[in-house]
Amino acid sequence: MEITPRSKIADVLNNFPELEEEIIRAAPPFENLRNPVLRRTVARLATLEQAARIGGINVLEFVNRLRREVGQPELAGGAASAVLNEFPQASSDDPPWVQGQPQVVVDGNELLMRGEVPLDRVNELLDGLAPGQFILLITNFEPQPMIEALKKQNRRLYHKVDGQNPARHLTYIGL
């Protein structure tokens, strides 16, 4: 089995059980993988890409770390570009500070489905945000209360509807 961002965690663990600790270390909420009942449900649905996002780490780096552990070559070139191109690109109408790849992408819908507060996760991630970098929050609604809370913290903010998918809202958050 080849490990890719789209690989289901269950498939990865069935083929490479030794990767369980590495996945949990990268995305602590996946601690539930140790519970056999939850493992059968969560791991069957979640992909490595989702685990990386939940863990607040770069998808490609996470997947390549797992690939190295099992002796698979790192994704590079076209495969790497395909992963990075999944994130919406900023347009020339967007502010210059949101150009390039986000340091972290947060799936706000997924956090809400798990009963978590996206603002809490974003605030945690802001502590580790590198200068000049930004977080991209993706939701299916305009997160107005969160935007207001971040404005009160004097954070850099930019919100727009994704031109490729009008049901997707993109909120860029910087220091």
Q: 38 or 16: whose pLDDT is higher?
A: 16
pLDDT for 76:
58
Q: How far apart are CA 34 and CA 22, in angstroms?
A: 13
pLDDT for 6:
81
Question: What tokens appear for 90 in the block?
Answer: 């900023």
Average pLDDT over residues 63-72: 89
CB 121 within 8 A of CB 53: no
Average pLDDT over residues 113-122: 84
Task: Give the CA dihedral 49, 34, 44, 103, nearest 10 degrees.
Answer: -10
Answer whether residue 82 shows pLDDT above 60: no
Q: How far apart are CA 136 and CA 121, in angstroms?
A: 12
Domains and CATH numbers, the chain: 9-69 (no CATH), 88-174 (3.30.110.40)
- Chain mean pLDDT for the chain: 83
Average pLDDT over residues 153-174: 90
Q: How far apart are CA 127 and CA 110, in angstroms?
A: 21
